[in-house]
Amino acid sequence: MSSAAVISDPVALANELRPVLLQIGRQLRREVHPLGVTGGQVSLLASIRRSAGVGVRELAAREGVSPAAMCRHLDRLERAGLVTRTPADRDRRRVGVEVTSEGERVLRLVRSRRTAWLTARLKRLEPEQVEAIEAAVEPLSALLGPDE
């Protein structure tokens, strides 16, 4: 397909691409279930790891949930031994959240399982199909750029 064809009908391409991306995303989320966590919990763990010591309110705002809802999510992760909450030294009202070593282990296992799932499927494809996917990674990544 030429780039002119893609540009001339972005709606048609979006309608073809959307269900494929959703199904791939669902399957990757399912890969975490044997580990005893949900896709949402993994996403939250990854967010906490990127900003170790992040406050509960800030984390809630980033994730688009209320602080009370975030506390419930964190309660579950803390009971599972995946995160710890520590009062800040200067302001005891502020609580920072960090991923524990067990949480790091879970994140490594999730990454490994998801990579294995994708690798197995890529190995089933023809070389030309793999090349096409490889060429699509950069433009697909550009879709995640800032909204205007």
In whole angstroms, give the CA distance from residue 110 to residue 116.
10
Let me know if residue 12 belongs to a domain.
no
Residues in the chain: 148
CA distances from 65 to 6, 74, 86, 124 (A): 37, 12, 21, 40
Residue 11 resides in a domain: no
What pTM does this model have?
A: 0.81
**Does residue 23 fall inside a structural domain?**
no
- Residue 41 domain-assigned (yes or no): yes
Asked, for residue 21, whether it belongs to a domain, the answer is: no
d(CA 37, CA 23): 19
Structural domain that includes position 79: 31-142
8 in a structural domain: no
Tell me if 107 is assigned to some domain.
yes
Domain of residue 62, CATH code: 1.10.10.10
Q: How many domains does the chain have?
A: 1
Instruction: Give the pLDDT of the chain (148 residues) as one tens digit per residue.
Output: 444 444 678 899 899 999 999 999 999 999 999 999 999 999 999 999 999 889 999 999 999 999 999 999 999 999 999 999 988 777 767 889 999 999 999 999 999 999 999 999 999 999 999 999 999 999 999 998 776 5
